[in-house]
Amino acid sequence: MARMFGYIKSFGLVAVSVGLIAALLLGSVVPAKAEPGEAVKIGFGTIYRGFLSTVGVHYCNGVFDYVSYLNEQGGINGHKVEIAWRETGTVLPDIVMAYRRLKGEGILMYFSTAAEVGGSLVPLAKRDGIPLNFVDAFHPSALSKPHQWMVCSFPDFATAFAMMTKWTEENLWTEAHPMRVGYIFYDLAVSRYALEATKYFDKMGAEFVGYEVVPVTAIDASTELLRLARKDPDFVYMHAFGMATTVIVKDSARLGLQQEGIRFVAAPNTLDECALGVVGKDANGWYLANITPIYFETERCPELNTTIRAAQEYRGTKPEDLKGFYTGGWVHTMVGLEAIRVAMEEVGYENLTGRAVRDALFGGGIKDFDTGIFPPITITENTPYLAETFGAYEIREGRYCPLGRVEALPSMLITPEEFERALEK
C-alpha cells in the first residue's frame, strides 16, 4: 500500500513567436503558495483534443479520478486537492498559455504530457517555482542543470531504444551474426532523438540498417515499410502513437512482412490498449514494452485492483477495458501528491510552495515509494522519472502475453558515463 494511503490516504514542436516567449519570460511572477484555509491546488494542461487525444483522454481521466479517490479518503493530511485545468491539445502555444494562466491560481505542480513541447515550460517553471509532472519519456529540452524541474514517466526514448535492443538481442536473437535493426517512426523530434541509441548498437551485438519516417497523421505507411524491408532487417523498431501506430501495424500485416522474416518491436506504451483495440490480431507476433501493467497483472501489482475499482466506479469501465494511460495518469498523480505531502510535513502547510514541493520531489522525498502498481520509485536529480524498467510482452491472438522485465539502463541523456559503463558490464 502506498505511503500516501497510509496518511489517509514526442511530440511535435509547434512554432511560436519569439515575442510570445519573451513576453512569458518577462511576465509577472506569482508564487505558488497554499494559504491557510485553502485546498491544495495543482494545475493540469489536459489533452482531450488533438492528435494525441486517443491516449490523452485516458491519461486525463486517471489524473482526475485519483484526485477524486484521494479526496474521498480525506485528501493530503486533511487538505482536499483541487485541480485547476485548461485544455491544450498538445499544441505548444496552448500549453504555454495554459501554464501561464494556471500558475496565477496558486498551483503547486503542473501536470501534462508531451515533454518535447513541455520542455519549453522549464525556464518558466524555474522562474515561477512550479515543478512539472509529465506523462512521457524525458527529453533533452526538459533537462535542467543543476536542478531538475520536470519529472517524467521513464528515461528518454534513446535509452528506451537501447534497452529494447539489448533485451531483443539477449532474449529473441539466436543467430551467430549481429542482428540487423531498422527503425520506423513518426515525424517528431522526440522520435528522431531516439536515433542516438544506434551509436551504441555494436556494443549490444546489433547492426543498424536505416530508418523511415511517416507523418504524425499518417494514413498509409506502405512505401516506408517496403523501403525499410529492402534493407533486410531482422527486427524493426517502431515509435509512434495514436493514428500512426495503427497505420504502421496494419500495413505491416497487410504487406505480410512478418511472413518474410521481419519481426517488429514497439517502443514503450506505443502499442497501448487503445491501439491494440483497433488493430487486433494484425499485431500478432509484435513485441513491445510497457511501463504500465496490463489489467490482469494484479498479482504482481496489487494496488492495480484499486485503480480498476475506481475506473469502474467513476467511468463505468470494465476491468478488461482499463487503459495503460489511465493507470499512468493515476500513478503520476499519486507520486506528485506524495511530494506535496512530504513538503507539507517538512515546511508546514502555511509555508507550502512549489519550490518546497520541487525540493521534496527531487531531494529525497520520493525514495522507494511503493505505489503497488510500479516497482518502488526513487526520484533524484539524475533519475527524474518514475520507472527505470519496462514489462516485455508479445501480442498473441490480439492479447498481451507477458515475457518478463526489460533490464534497466541509466539515461544516456542525463548520465551518459553511467550509461556507457552499464553497457560494458
* Tens digits of residue pLDDT in 162-171: 999 999 999 9
pLDDT, tens digit, for every residue of 362-395?
999 999 999 999 999 999 999 999 999 999 999 9
Looking up residue 260, the CATH number of its domain turns out to be: 3.40.50.2300
How large is the average pLDDT for residues 335-343? 98
Residue 179 lies in a domain: yes
Q: How many domains does the chain have?
A: 2
89 and 202 inside one domain: no
75 and 31 inside one domain: yes
**pLDDT class of 119 with cuts at 50, 70, 90:** confident
Residue 311 to residues 1, 246, 299, Cα–Cα distance (Å): 18, 25, 18
Residue 368 lies in a domain: no
pLDDT score, position 17: 34
344 and 305 inside one domain: yes
Q: Name the packing angle between helices 53-72 and 304-315 (round to 10°).
A: 100
Residue 388 to residues 18, 290, 325, 382, Cα–Cα distance (Å): 36, 11, 17, 12
398 and 256 inside one domain: yes
Domain boundary among 314, 343, 362: 362
The secondary structure element, H or E, covering residue 212 is strand 206-214
180 and 281 inside one domain: yes
The secondary structure element, H or E, covering residue 179 is strand 179-186
How large is the average pLDDT for residues 407-416? 94
Residue 375 lies in a domain: no
Residue 17 lies in a domain: yes
Residue 40 lies in a domain: yes
Segments of 262-406 assigned E as strands: 263-266, 287-290, 390-396, 399-406
Residue 370 lies in a domain: no
Residue 374 lies in a domain: no
What is the chain's mean pLDDT, rounded?
Answer: 90
Residue 230: pLDDT over 80 = yes
- Residues spanned by the domain of 165: 157-290+389-424
Residues 6 or more apart whose Cβ sits within 8 Å of residue 67: 42, 81, 83, 333, 337
How large is the average pLDDT for residues 48-53? 85
Residue 398 lies in a domain: yes
228 and 212 inside one domain: yes
136 and 167 inside one domain: no
pTM score, whole prediction: 0.89
Cell of 84: 485547476
121 and 26 inside one domain: yes
Domain boundary among 319, 346, 362: 362
176 and 224 inside one domain: yes
pLDDT score, position 19: 37
272 and 319 inside one domain: no
Estimate the share of the chain in helix, then strand, then coil, as percent rounded to the nearest 5: 45, 20, 40
43 and 123 inside one domain: yes
How large is the average pLDDT for residues 392-421? 96
331 and 411 inside one domain: no
**pLDDT class of 145 with cuts at 50, 70, 90:** confident
Q: Are 311 and 46 in contact (CB under 8 A)?
A: no
First to last CA, the chain: 35
